[in-house]
Every structure is written in C-alpha cells, then in structure tokens.
C-alpha cells in the first residue's frame, strides 16, 4: 500500500496566521514552493496560502502585503490528510474538494505536502488523468 507519507515532499513549513503576506512570499521564494499551510497559535492548520492568493486577493486589490496577514487570507475549512492514509484517500480528498495541494499531518504535526508534481512522480498515467479530469474539469465551469 502506497501512503500519503510515501508520496509527499518533506520539509513543508507553516506560516503563522499573524505573519504578513510579504513575509509569506519571501518564505515561498526561499522554499521554492507556491503554497504554505497557515497555522494558528497552537500550530493547528487554519488554512492554506498560495502565491495566487497573495496576487489576486491582496496586490490586485491595491492592498499592502506588508499589512495583510496570512490569517486574513485563510478561507473555508482547511483540508489535510494523515501520513498513513492510502493514496486512494489522498486522491479522493483532492478530487472531492478540488484542491491541488494537500498538507500531510502525523501525530498532529505537519510533516509534508502533496502537490500535483508529487502525484505526477508517483502515480500511473491513468490515475493522474482521472485526478486531473476531476479537479480541473469542474473548477473551470465555476
């Protein structure tokens, strides 16, 4: 059985909810990622911040990324997966919620992230095609 822990990339880092978007962008650049999980004061997942969120939800609206916090950008119920979950559960979670990045948690701690590139490296072409059809086809009609 292939698990979320098997396909995730390690080294994911939180961005605390109180941190500003300019700091989040710097951290994304340093880590070479396009998304960061947002943590509350107790290091619990409270959202995910993407580079697109910063551009569309802040900069394009004329807001100052040095004054807007990651927590202000957190929307909806954050999704995550346990490190021991089977890859079929990973795919189901991402497909049902039309998400492209999924934090991986073990013992209530962030241990990694699963992104599209992780799926591409570890899954069959058939699995990837089905996943992409589910995630992209429905999101383009909204």
The whole-number pLDDT of residue 140 equals: 47
DSSP 15: E
Digit-coded pLDDT (tens) for 41-86 = 888 899 999 999 999 999 999 999 999 999 999 877 889 999 999 9
How far is the C-alpha of 72 from the C-alpha of 124, rounded, in Å? 38
Range of the domain at 97: 4-139
**Across the strands, what pairs with 38?**
15, 47
Q: Work out how many domains the chain is built from and give that number.
A: 1
Q: Report the residue count for the chain.
A: 142
* CATH number of the domain that residue 36 is part of: 3.10.580.10
How far is the C-alpha of 9 from the C-alpha of 102, rounded, in Å? 11
> Is the model's pLDDT at 39 over the cut of 50?
yes
> Is the model's pLDDT at 123 over the cut of 90?
no
> Is the model's pLDDT at 21 over the cut of 80?
yes
> What is the b/e burial string over 8-23, where b = at least 16 CB atoms within 10 angstroms of the residue's CB?
beeebebbbbebbbeb
User: How much is the pTM?
Assistant: 0.83
The whole-number pLDDT of residue 4 equals: 95
CA atoms within 13 A on the CB side of 98: 11
């Amino acid at each position: 059985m292939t698990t979320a822990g098997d396909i995730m990339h390690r080294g994911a880092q939180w961005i605390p909810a109180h941190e500003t978007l300019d700091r989040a962008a710097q951290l994304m650049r340093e880590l070479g990622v396009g998304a960061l999980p947002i943590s509350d004061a107790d290091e619990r997942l409270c959202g995910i911040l993407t580079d697109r969120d910063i551009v569309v939800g802040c900069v394009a609206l004329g807001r100052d990324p040095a004054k807007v916090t990651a927590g202000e950008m957190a929307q909806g119920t954050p999704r995550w997966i346990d490190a021991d979950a089977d890859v079929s559960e990973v795919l189901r979670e991402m497909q049902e919620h039309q998400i492209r990045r999924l934090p991986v948690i073990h013992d209530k701690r962030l241990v990694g992230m699963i992104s599209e590139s992780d799926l591409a490296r570890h899954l069959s072409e058939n699995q990837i095609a089905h996943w992409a059809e589910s995630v992209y086809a429905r999101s383009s009609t909204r």
